Amino acid sequence: MKNAVLAAIGDELLSGARAEKNALFMAGHLHNKGVNVLRIEEISDEEEEILSLLSRWVGKTDLLVLSGGLGPTHDDRTRYAIAKYLNCGLSPSNAMYDRVVDRVRNDAYRLAYTERCRDPQAMIPDSAEAVYNPAGFALGIRFEREGTTVIALPGVPMEYEAMTRQELPEVFAPDVEHCWASVIILGIPEMTIAERIPEVINNPALHVSILPAFPQVELIIRGDAKTVASAERLIRSRFGSDVLPQGCMSLAEAVLYEARLRGVKVACAESCTGGKIGAALTDIAGSSDVFSGSAVTYSNEAKRNILGVKDETLREHGAVSEECAREMAEGALRIYGADFAVSVTGIAGPDGGSEAKPVGTVWFGFASDMETRAVMKRLPGNREEIRTRTVRFALAELWRMLHNG
Amino acid sequence: MKNAVLAAIGDELLSGARAEKNALFMAGHLHNKGVNVLRIEEISDEEEEILSLLSRWVGKTDLLVLSGGLGPTHDDRTRYAIAKYLNCGLSPSNAMYDRVVDRVRNDAYRLAYTERCRDPQAMIPDSAEAVYNPAGFALGIRFEREGTTVIALPGVPMEYEAMTRQELPEVFAPDVEHCWASVIILGIPEMTIAERIPEVINNPALHVSILPAFPQVELIIRGDAKTVASAERLIRSRFGSDVLPQGCMSLAEAVLYEARLRGVKVACAESCTGGKIGAALTDIAGSSDVFSGSAVTYSNEAKRNILGVKDETLREHGAVSEECAREMAEGALRIYGADFAVSVTGIAGPDGGSEAKPVGTVWFGFASDMETRAVMKRLPGNREEIRTRTVRFALAELWRMLHNG
């Protein structure tokens, strides 16, 4: 398999009500196997659009994976569009659907519901094959035409993932041939990075993507294993301690890696991020050995009662202040019995800003047995962007503290 | 403007390294204005792909917005592809770029960097216009051909958003004509919902999308204002207390709305979600009046020291137990001085499961001045899905508690 096209079906995608997730998942796995994803398309629920998609790509790509439009309700049109495309009728794949029903035999409520959805969820175009759904009810559809394998799967991400793993085992098998590396550099702008590694950027055997996301820039380097490895070595030596450790795909991973290496525990105290720093650290499985927890203290009372921020600090300097950030970090260190702590307190907006402390003003506190310090940043963007950047900056500084401290 | 096509350019999208965000943002705003988004396409960095995109859609849609490929590095090809398409050269839009440079005059480091990027970031095809970038450095490009307005903007979401607002003010102006409503129903499967509102589903004047996301199902209803309003009333009366309050677009909003209505404060205690419940509640601006905070206690020590979970509870029942969930909720109620508290403690996996407590086992605790109770759920999916579902279930139950209690 050389080429693939991924398509997601659903008005909720074109109306901006839902973000596309399945093609994103599949693209990553195909890419890792050296399969070239020619395009990702998001199209509407309409039968004609699904038909037109099939006409556009069958015969022009080795694989076409469709996601969505196989549920039990009126807006699920994929099975009918495929039957039209293949110019055939539809019949129920009862034997396969029985296997789905068998899974809920001991749950009378779900059993009744699953049976009620048999039509249309078991209906398969006569010139295609049914695809078993190990994680949900709706069967998938598979057929071949003009050298293209077409697989239509439900849009529920858990079902899509389980069924692609089942239908395309070769894509999910371990691989050695097609290699890529990700190198994350902190605090240096993308153009400066590109200028400092011309041998990598201009190497025709490599394909380099440069992806900035304040305060980090990620380089994704693709090519054969040997060239990629030597490019990665060169970048690492050139940017030294501004590069995250090898194998760390995110700031959170780097923090956990470094804490594990040093045998220390980290904790957080969060105000404007509301738990997002803790969430980022615990996104990664097995974080409990080095991450103790995070005290989300949104109110002044919580900052005082839980973290021990002083009354006079809140009264004289306010919650968004150097003093408060320092006391929050020290509080987190103490109540969690941690070795390193980071705190954030800021104004994410859209309200709450003032001339002295405009929206985007965030104080970060860092505490360890050795020292407490605080730093202020004025972060641009809307509420969501300010919160995301606050999380990234807090993790970046926590990593530097663990790495150098 | 009737139709639009949105395109995102970047190998990082087709390799699954980055999720597409700009078309998603724009699609929502266009949809609200009744503009039909014909398709969303994600294509590679290559000049030929950008050229082919222009050829495919110019003359076939009123608006074509491109995102990405305007940065300063080798993989940014959009400006060159447009020049080829228009069969013209490129020249620097120095006067406009000077306005960008002016913004960083007092920062020598950024000034030098911005000047160094003038070529290529100020380069505009001669037959097109430059678009000012109020949030970043790279200029955008705009031209008209065969009735299609083409606007190419940088891929950085903050810049894309600022520039679409500037270039397409009509899309972001308030509107009354095209109406839609979102109704969120808790705990009822999608097919059952559809069967109970045939008048809505079968009304040709309405377009209804049904979007399940355990334990909720969202109905998005589009049409003229009057028909949408009466459909919404019918759905609300039919599903009664299983429907989130009007205007609440998410469970988190419903929790904050209900707490505000009752004049109470809520708090959380989180283990396996690591702060995601607090993050969801604080995603919404102005949550500080009713949300006190969340104690993220990932380790047993933190559960004991911060929330007052008993030693013997952890020893005899473990951290994932009814007793621990109850004590965590009561602890959060106490330390935050809140009126209602929710706690979660579970096994998100992939490790840590056992026969008695498999991965996906989550205990939820709910505490108020009146009562403490706990409930256990076995949630399906991988680590990320289990955590997401845990957040949704906790918020759904917290809302019911506030709504009915």
Asked if the Cβ–Cβ distance from A73 to B210 is below 8 Å, we say yes
- Write down the pLDDT at residue B215: 86
Looking at the structure of chain A, the number of domains it has is 3
**Total Cβ atoms within 10 A of residue A55:** 11
Task: Report the percent of chain A where pLDDT is more than 70.
Answer: 99
B88 in contact with A at a CB cutoff of 8 Å?
no
Check whether residue A156 and residue A193 sit in a common domain. no
- Write down the pLDDT at residue A241: 86
- Write down the pLDDT at residue B157: 92
Check whether residue A68 and residue A210 sit in a common domain. no
Closest CA to A381 of B249, B268, B21: B21
Last residue of a domain, one of A172, A206, A230: A172
Check whether residue A64 and residue A192 sit in a common domain. no
- Write down the pLDDT at residue B180: 83
Would the pLDDT of B248 be above 60?
Answer: yes
pLDDT in tens, A44-75: 999 999 999 999 999 999 999 999 999 999 99
Please classify residue A144 by burial: count the beta carbons closer than 10 Å to its beta carbon, then call 0-12 exposed, 13-18 middle and 19+ buried.
Answer: exposed
B31 in contact with A at a CB cutoff of 8 Å?
yes
Check whether residue B262 and residue B377 sit in a common domain. yes
Check whether residue A346 and residue A374 sit in a common domain. yes
Name residues 165-194 of chain A within 8 A of B (Cβ): 182, 189-192, 194
Asked if the Cβ–Cβ distance from B287 to A305 is below 8 Å, we say no
Query: What is the identity of the amino acid at A216?
Result: Q
Check whether residue B266 and residue B225 sit in a common domain. no
| CATH number of the domain residue B189 falls in | 3.30.70.2860
Name residues 210-229 of chain B within 8 A of A (Cβ): 210-212, 218, 220
Q: What is the mean pLDDT of residues A72-96?
A: 96
Check whether residue A211 and residue A290 sit in a common domain. no
pLDDT in tens, B313-324: 999 999 999 999
- Write down the pLDDT at residue B175: 62
- Write down the pLDDT at residue B173: 82
Would the pLDDT of B348 be above 70?
Answer: yes
- Write down the pLDDT at residue B176: 56
The residue in chain A having the minimum alpha-carbon distance to the alpha carbon of residue B193 is: A73
**Total Cβ atoms within 10 A of residue B15:** 21
Asked if the Cβ–Cβ distance from A17 to B220 is below 8 Å, we say yes
Name the band, by pLDDT with cuts 50, 70 and 90, for residue A106. confident
- Write down the pLDDT at residue A215: 86
- In angstroms, rounded to a whole number, what is the distance separating the alpha carbons of residues B201 and B257? 29
pLDDT in tens, B70-91: 999 999 999 999 999 999 999 9
* Number of residues assigned to chain A: 405
- Write down the pLDDT at residue B177: 61
Check whether residue A164 and residue A216 sit in a common domain. no
User: How far A113 CA sits from the closest chain B CA (Å)?
Assistant: 8
pLDDT in tens, B103-150: 989 888 889 999 999 999 999 999 999 999 999 999 999 999 999 999
- In angstroms, rounded to a whole number, what is the distance separating the alpha carbons of residues B302 and B273? 15
The residue in chain A having the minimum alpha-carbon distance to the alpha carbon of residue B35 is: A15
| CATH number of the domain residue A397 falls in | 3.90.950.20
Check whether residue A13 and residue A153 sit in a common domain. yes
Q: Per mean pLDDT, which range of A340-349, B90-99, B222-231 is the poorest?
A: B222-231
Check whether residue B28 and residue B164 sit in a common domain. yes
Would the pLDDT of A148 be above 70?
Answer: yes
Check whether residue B76 and residue B145 sit in a common domain. yes
- Write down the pLDDT at residue A176: 57
Q: Residue B157: its chain A contacts at CB < 8 A?
A: 385
Last residue of a domain, one of B242, B275, B295: B242
| Of residues B19 and A175, more confidently modeled | B19
- In angstroms, rounded to a whole number, what is the distance separating the alpha carbons of residues B383 and A344? 27
Q: Per mean pLDDT, which range of A170-179, A259-268, B260-269, B287-296 is the poorest?
A: A170-179
Is residue A337 within 8 Å of residue A292, measured between CB atoms?
A: yes
- Write down the pLDDT at residue B110: 86
Last residue of a domain, one of B113, B144, B172: B172
B293 in contact with A at a CB cutoff of 8 Å?
yes
Name the band, by pLDDT with cuts 50, 70 and 90, for residue B179. confident
Q: What is the mean pLDDT of residues B50-63?
A: 98
- Whether ipTM > 0.85 holds is no
Check whether residue B381 and residue B261 sit in a common domain. yes
Domain of A395? 251-404
Name residues 322-381 of chain B within 8 A of A (Cβ): 335-337, 348-351, 380-381
The residue in chain A having the minimum alpha-carbon distance to the alpha carbon of residue B382 is: A158
Q: Residue B18: its chain A contacts at CB < 8 A?
A: 211
Q: Please give the mean pLDDT across all residues of chain A.
A: 94
Name residues 218-277 of chain A within 8 A of B (Cβ): 218, 220, 265, 267-268, 270, 272-277
3-state secondary structure chain A: CCEEEEEEECHHHHCCCCCCCHHHHHHHHHHHCCCEEEEEEEECCCHHHHHHHHHHHCCCCCEEEEECCCCCCCCCCHHHHHHHHHCCCEEECHHHHHHHHHCCCCCHHHHHHHHHCHHHHCEEECCCEEECCCCCCCCEEEEEECCEEEEEECCCHHHHHHHHHHHCHHHHCCCCCCEEEEEEEECCCHHHHHHHCHHHHCCCCCEEEEEEECCEEEEEEEECHHHHHHHHHHHHHHHHHHECCCCCCCHHHHHHHHHHHHCCCEEEEECCCCCHHHHHHHCCCCHHHCEEEEEEECCHHHHHHHHCCCHHHHHHCCCCCHHHHHHHHHHHHHHHCCCEEEEEEECCCCCCCCCCCCCCEEEEEEEECCCEEEEEEECCCCHHHHHHHHHHHHHHHHHHHHHHC
pLDDT in tens, A221-230: 988 889 999 9
Q: Residue B282: its chain A contacts at CB < 8 A?
A: 272-275, 296, 298, 387
pTM here? Answer: 0.82
| CATH number of the domain residue B92 falls in | 3.40.980.10
User: How far B405 CA sits from the closest chain A CA (Å)?
Assistant: 24
